[in-house]
Amino acid sequence: MRRKVIAGNWKMNMLPNETIGYIESLSKLVKDTENEVILCVPYTDLFYALMTAQGTNIKIGAQNMHFEEKGAYTGEISAKMLKSINVEYVIIGHSERRQYFAETDETVNKKIKASFANGLNPILCVGETLEQRESALAEEVITKQTRLALDGLDDELIDKVIIAYEPIWAIGTGKTATSDDANNAIKSIRNEIRKLYGDKVADNIIIQYGGSVKSSNAKELFETSDIDGGLVGGASLVPEEFAKIVNFNN
Ligand code: 13P
């Protein structure tokens, strides 16, 4: 059986002193969970998060990275830099980066490859807009994003990727996909993986749901057949609320 992975995406929130206090609180609240717990924090919080999370079951991730290892890319951070301070995960291709920072399927693919080349575990985000959903294009969009993101990756790395299905219309809007809709979308991503890489990879790969996940809907979403946990934005900013989501099955 696949494990459940619950990741918080703080986006552009939280200062170092808040990070320390948050992780001290959260670590006490989630210490007994069997689920994997990840916090993806701003670059300026990474060091503090890593120090505070030492000796706990909380893993730390970044929210983006550049695909080149080093060079004249003012303002960018590479996978090698993240790995050098022991960051374990990195979100790649979040819809906010695709929308506001010109991220494309091609740069997402390069970033996935660079993350593995440097020993980081990518959390790949895919998801359709409201317009695409209303035009019955959701499945086509998310399977294509998945295919292009993983293109050319060594087969043995595919099931190390965590995929987060995040319908754009559900992010930060309070509108959650129904558990059936989210589960069906995730099944279609898993089927695409099955077609491309076979049963073993498809049955092992972790696919999360993201978009207005809260403690009141986490259990219903995460207990479906194919949703393997969540990528949580707003509700991950308060440790008590995020802990309830992590502990959805306790
Ligand atoms: P919300 O949980 O705030 O809707 O954000 C989801 C998200 O974008 C996580 O990456």
Instruction: Please write the tens of the pLDDT for every residue from 6-34.
Output: 999 999 999 999 999 999 999 999 999 99
What is residue 175's predicted lDDT score, i.e. its pLDDT? Answer: 85
Distance between Cα 167 and ligand 1 center (Å): 10
Q: Ligand 1 in contact with 231 (CB < 6 A)? A: yes
What is residue 84's predicted lDDT score, i.e. its pLDDT? Answer: 98
pTM: 0.97
Q: Mean pLDDT across the chain, nearest whole number?
A: 97
Residue nearest to atom 7 of ligand 1 (CA): 233
Owning domain of residue 73:
5-246
**Residues acting as catalytic residues:** 94, 166
What does the angle CA 11 – CA 81 – CA 104 come to, to the nearest 5 degrees?
A: 55
What does the angle CA 67 – CA 11 – CA 243 come to, to the nearest 5 degrees?
A: 120
**Total domain count, the chain:** 1
Distance between Cα 225 and ligand 1 center (Å): 22
* Of 98, 92, 158, nearest in space to 129 by CA: 98
What is residue 194's predicted lDDT score, i.e. its pLDDT? Answer: 97
Residues in CB range of 69: below 8 A, 6 or more apart: 78, 79, 80, 114, 118
What does the alpha-carbon distance between residue 250 and residue 248 come to, in Å, rounded to a whole number?
A: 6
Distance between Cα 151 and ligand 1 center (Å): 26
What does the alpha-carbon distance between residue 20 and residue 242 come to, in Å, rounded to a whole number?
A: 15
Q: Ligand 1 in contact with 171 (CB < 6 A)? A: yes
* Of 40, 51, 56, 58, nearest in space to 17 by CA: 51
What is residue 177's predicted lDDT score, i.e. its pLDDT? Answer: 87
Pairing of the two strands 121-126 and 162-165? parallel
Residues in CB range of 195: below 8 A, 6 or more apart: none
Output the CA–CA distances (angstroms, integers) from residue 230 to 5, 24, 41, 74, 211, in the order listed.
Answer: 7, 22, 16, 32, 9
Distance between Cα 209 and ligand 1 center (Å): 10
Which residue type, as a one-letter code, is found at position 127?
G
Q: What is the CATH number of the domain that holds 17?
A: 3.20.20.70
What is residue 176's predicted lDDT score, i.e. its pLDDT? Answer: 84
Question: What residue ranges of the chain have pLDDT lower than 50?
Answer: none
pLDDT tens-digit profile of 216-226?
999 999 999 99
Q: Ligand 1 in contact with 93 (CB < 6 A)? A: no
Q: Ligand 1 in contact with 175 (CB < 6 A)? A: no
